Structure 1
Amino acid sequence: MIELTAAEIAQAVSGRLRGVEHPHQLTLSHADTDSRTMRPSALFIAKPGEVTDGHRFIDDAQTAGAALVLAQRETDDPSGNPHPAVLVDDVIVAMGMLAQEIVTRIRQHSPTTVIGITGSAGKTTTKDLLAALLGPQGPTVAPQGSYNGEVGVPLTVFTADLETRYLIIEMGADAPGNIRELCSIVRPDIGAVLMVGTAHAGKFGGADKIAQTKGELAELATDHIILNADDAQVAAMADRASAPVTWFASEPGASADYGVTADEVHQRADGRLELTLVFDEPDEHGRSAFRTTSGLIGAHHVTNLLAAAAVAHRAGVAPSDIAARLDGLGPSSRWRMERTEIPWASQQDAVTILNDAYNANPESMREALRTLAIMTRENKRRGVAVLGPMLELGEDSVWLHHKIGETVVRLNIDLTLVVGDGAYALYRGAIAEGSWGSEVQWVATLDEAESWLRTALEPGDIVLFKSSNSAGLRLLGDKFATEERN
């Protein structure tokens, strides 16, 4: 974090100082909500939470070196002395105000480009790709994991300093107005909208409201807005854009007005993508098309690759450099088509684990299943899908799970294990579509799923784990990925 005095922090968040003897001399250079990361000159943010309350850990934070606390109520140390603090009505609101002040100061010091990324799926992968593309150009800050909300965005900003050249912000939302609020904090120069799906449809009240919310970024990005021409709801956001629009599209032969398109896309037997990136402007050598092989698994990553390429291009990276940096670049975040080979009798007969269970919605579930189907067909191996519930789908949840069950059968997945009450409709959908015998099974718990898999798996199987995060299938996938069978 950039250096700020206690007095400056209090002013930025409209807070009240308590227990600070020399507020204009006390300098803070680190801020976090985790007391375990504290060090000298750190600001501990005592954030209330659903499970616990950060105010309970103020003494731990002080012991670890925290010099100041951002808190909602007065607290004292074991000796009865006031904790040095900035007191506010709402810590989370204050985090946003402090982040806004930091962004303002960084912009005053450096020619910083702030980039906002939103979409119902693919945000984290696109963010990771973009960080790799921009890193060689200058100091780049990107979110840890999937930090993308009212807490995660400020925490990302707090890791930036005055020399930051590119500040990448992942923007998530579960209610209308959320993206607008995040934009008010960071004021993005470039915005990218990836797709509108059914993720969180239950909270929003429908896909139209999701589109309305994601489109807030199109309205508020000031220099460029990057839009997915393959998604009709995203394409419609061009009418709301307040900055020039750059399109990306997966269809070959798209209009020259498009920023980046894909041509000759091929998913290899190992699941990785080969494609040609076609840019709307030739480089200094007159070339506009560049072949690259991604380290990502699954054809659905074409959208993420194109979005990252389009943003990087508008941020000033040469097309040839974009293609070269994307070549071989795989996922840097966990549980996103994470591939592990388990030795099983012999290396030749290894079981392949595809752990894609960080999150799930109908769109990403279908794409993961298609990837599994292609890999099993190309490698002449057996495919096993271990599928859990997709959460926050609202009143259409049963129907949407039922449709995924139909997809399993139509893709001819060899074995499917459905896990949990929330995914039972998926099992029923497969049965209704014509699955029979032992092709599709349902179990209620993770323990039952583990027992079933230990009996059912055979050498050479390709096993996909896919569910929403809280279903826990990612952890079951990890358990198998770290084992060896000889």
Structure 2
Amino acid sequence: MHTSTTSTAPLEVWTTQALAEATQGHWHLGRIPTQPIKRILTDSRHAELGDAFLALKGERFDAHDFIAQVAVQGCELAIVSRPVDVDIAQLVVADTRLALGQLGAYRRAQNRQLKVIALTGSSGKTTVKEMLSSILSQQAPTLVTRGNLNNDLGVPMMLLELCQSHQYAVMELGASHQGEIDYTAQLVQPDVAGILNIGTAHLGEFGGRDGICRAKSEIYAHLDAHGTAIIPAQDDYYPQIKQTAQAHSQLSFGPGGEVFATDIELLPQSSQFLLHSPAGQAWVRLPFAGLHNVRNAEAAAAFALAIGIALDVIVSGLDTAQGAKGRLNFIQKNNFLFIDDTYNANPSSMRAAADVLSQQAGIKVMVMGDIGELGDAAFQAHKDLGRDLATVALDHLIAVGEYSQAMAVGAAPDKIQAFSTQADALIYLIKLVKQDPTQPMSFLFKGSRFMHMETLMTDLMEKL
């Protein structure tokens, strides 16, 4: 069963006693493994001697069906919700999905030295996470959420990678339904917790921004009594968020907050600004483009200050931070600049990306894929986005996907080219380049993950 990525980081072994204690499980037929367990994993492809295979059950799969396979691969232990007829030690638990959470929480509780930051928000999570990684890793080993391991399965799997050498952890908590962040926050037990913003990502699941705010605000429910709540001062939900976190010490960021930037200079591929904080002021030279990334840096600085990091260390970390793959990565090829922002998208991040593109050289071409998880608001949201992007100083807007026509309606037909497929869009892009191949051009590709806009970008690059 392929349900997760597997870390190659050195992990601390589990005793059979700890496994049973954490999950409140019992050993089937009294058979207990004789060797400690080095890893707990849910991906049968990687199971081997020394591993415990945890058999998850979903709507369309049941990993109990793969236990015979992992036994052949040398795995000597399966964590199951029902015994199976396979010659392998089996720890039987009430629910393997909940057992995964129990194991993650147990590992978190073992690491008393750890200082944990938990963050959530509708946009910017990955970038703030990378900035914090750059800051905290200067001080001590830091565990940071990889990829999108931010849900009720991904968070405990990240916690399983904790070891005694880690002094910090930066945990991203995502929400696809009410109660999910409450559950994952309980597992990670944060010392500092905060919300970056309340946008429109996952709008369909929550029925509106009020529901999104309630879901994100669950992050404060399990904040340490002496911990700090990070609050987005500029967000229009600031009063509600502040109220939710009223039991805790608070630190706000952004315009109107306690950690904020002034004297901002936005450059084509970077920015610089004066950072103000309760710990003093300092100049930051940020290797990220766009005002939205200045806001992300304000947030990262607030989280770091709240966990006790000195201002000079924060500045050094921000100055040397690197963006994640697919997050405003700049790629120069001959006369063409490609901006890869294909990792994901929501309406606010799409607008921010357009502003970054507007600062680049030559002919500016924005290639947009559909935005997902907007529910019944999808058509209107794409229409509004088309309207807004038509006002940005760009030369060509190209929309691809089911909602490309909605963007065209919002922008007016003469402002945007709409295509239902990437193949059709590629033909148009090649014609655009051939009109004057000596003219510098800047392309930005962006869309929700399921649109795989990086494929269209790569196809165009190969034609040049």
Q: Settle same-fold status: TM greater than 0.5.
A: yes
What's the offset of the Cα at 1:235? 4.6
Give the match's secondary structure for 2:288: strand
Hey, what does 2:130 align to over in structure 1?
128
1:294 and 2:286 are equivalent in the alignment? yes
The question of whether the paired residues in 1 share the 8 Å contact of 2:267 and 2:289 is answered with no
Of 381, 395, 408, which aligns to 1:427?
408
CA change 1:404–1:72 in 2 (3 A) is same
The question of whether the paired residues in 1 share the 8 Å contact of 2:118 and 2:170 is answered with yes
Hey, what does 1:227 align to over in structure 2?
231
* CA deviations over 1:307-339 (Å, ceiling 9, x no partner): 1111111222110111112114221x2211122
Written as runs of structure 1 = structure 2, the 5 A alignment for 1:325-474 is 325-331=317-323, 333-343=324-334, 349=335, 351-375=336-360, 379=361, 381-431=362-412, 435-436=413-414, 439-457=415-433, 458=437, 459-474=439-454
CA–CA separation in structure 1 for the residues paired with 2:179 and 2:417: 41
Hey, what does 2:76 align to over in structure 1?
67
What's the offset of the Cα at 1:65? 4.4
1:151 and 2:160 are equivalent in the alignment? no
The question of whether the paired residues in 1 share the 8 Å contact of 2:185 and 2:221 is answered with no
Hey, what does 1:279 align to over in structure 2?
277
What's the offset of the Cα at 1:34? 2.2
What's the offset of the Cα at 1:484? 6.8
The question of whether the paired residues in 1 share the 8 Å contact of 2:430 and 2:463 is answered with no
Give the match's secondary structure for 1:181: helix
Q: Which blocks of at least 5 consecutive residues in structure 2 are unaligned?
A: 1-10
Written as runs of structure 1 = structure 2, the 5 A alignment for 1:200-215 is 200-215=202-217
The question of whether the paired residues in 2 share the 8 Å contact of 1:353 and 1:463 is answered with yes
CA–CA separation in structure 2 for the residues paired with 1:155 and 1:475: 29
1:477 and 2:457 are equivalent in the alignment? yes
CA change 1:225–1:6 in 2 (3 A) is same
Opposite residue 451 of structure 1, the aligned amino acid is I
TM-score after normalising by structure 1: 0.87
Opposite residue 12 of structure 1, the aligned amino acid is A
Query: What RMSD over aligned residues (CA atoms) do the two structures have, in Å?
Result: 2.1
Opposite residue 121 of structure 2, the aligned amino acid is G
The question of whether the paired residues in 1 share the 8 Å contact of 2:47 and 2:75 is answered with yes
Opposite residue 168 of structure 1, the aligned amino acid is V
Hey, what does 1:58 align to over in structure 2?
67
* CA deviations over 1:10-69 (Å, ceiling 9, x no partner): 23112232367335x431121222234434322222223466543344344345443322
CA–CA separation in structure 1 for the residues paired with 2:238 and 2:71: 47
CA–CA separation in structure 2 for the residues paired with 1:48 and 1:460: 52
Hey, what does 2:47 align to over in structure 1?
38
CA change 1:453–1:60 in 2 (3 A) is farther
Q: Which blocks of at least 5 consecutive residues in structure 1 are unaligned?
A: 282-287, 344-348
The question of whether the paired residues in 1 share the 8 Å contact of 2:366 and 2:444 is answered with yes
CA–CA separation in structure 2 for the residues paired with 1:314 and 1:118: 16
Q: What is the aligned residue count? A: 447
What's the offset of the Cα at 1:92? 1.5
TM-score after normalising by structure 2: 0.91
